[in-house]
Structure formats: C-alpha cells, structure tokens
Amino acid sequence: MDMGKNILVVDDDVIVTSALKTFFKVEGINNFVTFNNPVEAVEYLQSNKPCIIISDFMMPQMNGLEFLKEAKKLYPDVSMILLTGYADKENAIRAINEVGLYRYIEKPWDNDELLINIKNGIERSYLIEKLNEKVAELEVANKKLEDYSANLEKLVAERTKSLEIANLKLSGIIENCADGIVLLDGDGKIEEINPACENFTGYCAKNITGKRLIDFLEFETLAAKQRFFSEKGFMPLLNSDKSDVLIKDLYIVNNLSGERIPVEINFALCSPDGDARRYVGVIRDIHLQKETEKLRDDFIATLTHDLRTPLLAAIQTLRFFLDGVMGVLTDQQKLMLSTMLQSNEDLLGLVNALLEVYRFESGKLSLCKTNFPIKNLINQCYDEIKPLAEAKNLKLELEFDTVSNDPYIYADRGELKRVITNLCGNAVNYTNKGGHVKILLKEKNDDIIFSVTDNGNGIPKEDIPHLFKRFSQGTSKKRSTGTGLGLYLSRQIIEAHNGKIWVESKLDRGSEFSFLLTDVVTTEKERQEVVNG
C-alpha cells in the first residue's frame, strides 16, 4: 500500500485518535497525522495533501460534514471516510450526496473492515489522481495538436495509447469491484452490468440486458417503491434536478439460489449534456449490516423488557411506604421517597418508550383498528390535559369543525390517543404561563385534520426538520427533559395509518402541530354496525 502521503484523522475524542494511532502502528502504518480540532486540521490541509481523510461527524468546532466540505474544496480527488454513530446514519447519507463521501463507517468499527476501506480509499485516491493527471495530459496534447499539426498522427497515436491504458485501468476497477455496477437507459432498462451484478441477480449480462431493473427488485413497502420508480420503471427523482439518489429498503432476488439479498443502490445521472439520459447505479450488499442491526435491536428490546419488572416492583414498594402501609413517615422521608418514586416512574417511561420504538421499527406492531367516535376520544384527551393547563393558568380551547354531529373514524384508538395526548401535552408544557392553547378537529370529505396551536416561544426554522427524529429534544435554544421519543413515535403511528404529521412555527409567535388521516371517516352504515355491536 502506497504510504507516500499522510493519512489524516480528525476526531475531537482523544480516546478515538489514540486508538487509531495504536491500530496504525500495529498494522505497520507510520505516515499518519491526527487532530482533535477540525479547525487545526483545515489549517494543516492548506499546505499538506493527505492520501485519505478520516473524520468524525459530531465535533464541537465544526461537524464532520462542514469539515469534509472544506477538505473537498482543497483536494476533491482525495477519498474521505466518515465515522458515525448509528443515530447519525441519515447524516452519513447526506454526506454521500453533498460531499461525494467514499464510505461511512459506524462506531464501533471493525478493524479489518476499517483497514480494507483505508487501503481501497488510498487506491481510489491514487487512481483518481492519476486519472486527473491523464486528463491534464490530454489538455496539453490538444494544445500541441494545434502547434504541431505536421506531427498530428504521431501525437494522436501516443495519446490514444494513454487513453487505452487509462480505460484498461478503469475497466479493471469495474470488473473487479465488489459492488454491483449497472448502467441504465432513460427508460430504466439495463444496458450494461459488471460481474458483481451478475452474482447478485444470478443472470449473465446477455440475459439481463434490455430488461427493466425494477423487475429484479423487491421493496419492503409499496411506498418505498413508488417513491423512486414509476409504473414504467422511470426514476422521477433523477429526472428532476437531483444529480444522484440513494435507494434503501429493497432486495435483489437471486435467480439461481432464490436468496433475497438486502441492498442499497446509489444512482447518478451520467449522461453528457445533450446526450440521451443514462444512469449508473452502484449496488451494495448490506446483509451483514442488517444482521448487526437486528442483533442490536433484539438486545435493546430484551434489555428494556427485563428492566420493567424490577422497576415496577420498586415503584410499588415506594407507593406502599408513601401510602403509610409501613408506618407513619416524616415530611423529610416523604420528600425523599417521592423523589425516588418520580425518578423510577421517569425511568419506566423511558423503558416503555424504547419498547414502543422497537415495536414500530421491527415491524412487530400491528394496528388494532376499530370504528369509534373521534370527538369522544379528543374530549377524553382534553379532560386529561385540562388540569395541567389550569395549573399554568393557560386558556385551553377546544373546537370541532365537522360535517356530521358525531363522526366515526376507522383507526387504532389507543395509538391515536397517544399521539393526541403527546401533541397537546407538549403544547401545554412549552407555553408560558397565561398563554393560549387551541385544539381543533376538522372533517373534510372522508379525511380528518387534527391540530394543536399555541402562542409559546416557537421553534427555530433550522430545528424543525429534526423534531420528528429519534431522541430529538427541544430546540437549539432550549432542551427538554424528556426522552426525545414522543414526536418520533407520533410520526411512526401516523405514518402507520398512511397519514402525515407536520409542524408550522415562528419564533416568539408559537407553533401549530397537525396530522392528517385520509379516508378514515366511516359511513352511517358502519357506524350503525358499531352501535348494534
């Protein structure tokens, strides 16, 4: 492996950089430099070109995406690897699209995998650099063609040979690449594939050429399929202004073994200006990643489930003491035991929330839909939230704008109650004393729209995209003390009903959280069936 240039490592965690130093020395790699401050690393890059850059994502001075963008400006041909936690996977995918990231590796990493990616990344940087040199040489050659027209044939022959060598190198990379590579025409039909793609599909190139790629793919959900492909196999996202698209949650079925191989495909538009549209797709096998994720999720589910029993026992015991079953307590003892009880109940709430997240993400939750009066459910939630609003001297308003007097809907009552209670509870919690919270239900055709509006402090625009993600707590201006799972679970529940949830907010003016459920209002006949049991 060519180590003529340094490997650059940037991570604000000294433990991580120390571990990588030890790892490099064990592997006999001596040309490396580490930084715990990305700003200092940028200064270093002003006068030093590395052979590969490895960066953490979460860093205080500038995050990994910002740092890699600066590095990309200086050395666009250097391969870059992003170290991320599992929760930052979306940021890693964003880095692939915005920076042209070579790889992202989740922490904790596997040393063998890291070493292979470093070697391949250095080789990639080397090949790109050499390819750029060849392009520069071609530009010089064109100038010489103008100056030395008499020697045109000789110069053309020399440059043609250089191009042939370059093409041979590129062909070698494509032929021996572990990832599948497929070239599609504008209709989504296959024009060329590499050997790795043949192994994925179980078809040789001549038997698959001319067929639609979509016919060899299986998606986890219909929505995932419709997001990327039209009925004719077109890719609308790539036909828009996007230069590349990452497609997830799909499988390739091997024709020979029948195996369903989980993959991710990164598509990019590769047509020259004015030429027919073509797309190149890089197909990556992620079955090991899927297995790791399943093991992790199963571990979390088992752990949180086993925590509930001792927590419930502790909570019940503390309640016995506070109820005076074990004797009269002093005021100081009651205060201490009440604090312990509250802490245990908070912990139990976190455990239950984690279990709910696992149920949704593992697909083990099936909605229990029934016909029920939606006004009755909202009134029940209103009565539960009202004491909290009165304690803060808030004006809590409830309004119904429905076509029928008592509309019934077909949905999971328990899960929908969780969403409504969470949205209303958040509005009360984040509205200042003396404020105003309004709950509104609208019925339009067979759809319902539920919204909660407050006149609190509002949410900064840059924080809104993160509110419905896991462990998102408050905003950059104010952090909440909750689990950060309430809005995430609400989104999962609404989307499981094929609905949509969103927020509109302005700083110092308040927020409005809403969700839409389509085609859920039941007919009079269905309502009568509910009444008659």
Which residues, at least 6 apart from 165, have a Cβ–Cβ distance to it below 8 Å?
Answer: none
- Name the band, by pLDDT with cuts 50, 70 and 90, for residue 2: very low
Closest CA to 281 of 184, 169, 170: 184
Asked whether the beta carbons of 511 and 424 are under 8 A apart, the reply is no
> Of 95-104, 147-156, 238-247, 519-528, which one has max mean pLDDT?
95-104
Question: Which is it for strands 260-269 and 244-253: parallel, antiparallel or unpaired?
Answer: antiparallel
* Alpha-carbon distances, residue 276 vs 265, 271, 476 (angstroms): 22, 6, 46
Highest mean pLDDT pick, 53-62, 82-91, 283-292, 381-390 = 381-390
pLDDT given at position 233: 54
Per-residue pLDDT tens over the stretch 160-207: 788 778 777 767 676 777 788 888 887 778 888 888 888 888 888 888
Mean pLDDT of the region 433-454: 92
- Find, among 237, 23, 18, 180, the residue nearest to 113 by Cα: 23
- State both tokens at 295: 């093991």
Q: How confident is the model at residue 398 (pLDDT cuts 50, 70, 90)?
A: very high
Higher pLDDT, 162 or 148: 162
* pLDDT computed for residue 326 by the predictor: 75
429-443 b/e with 16+ CB inside 10 Å = b? ebbeeebbbbbbbbb
Beta strands (DSSP E) in 79-166 are 79-84, 103-106
Q: Which range, of 21-35, 158-172, 192-206, 403-417, averages the lowest pLDDT?
A: 158-172
Structure tokens that stand for 374 in this block: 């939606």
For 480, the token pair is: 């909440």
Tell me the sheet residues that pair with 284.
Answer: 264
Give the percent of the chain with pLDDT over 90.
15
Q: How far apart are CA 501 and CA 484, in angstroms?
A: 17
pLDDT digits (tens, 9 = 90+) for 257-312: 888 888 888 888 776 555 667 788 888 888 887 777 777 777 776 766 677 778 88
pLDDT at 284: 85
Contact 514, 451 (CB under 8 A): yes
Band of pLDDT at residue 1, cut at 50, 70 and 90: very low
Q: What is the mean pLDDT of the chain?
A: 80
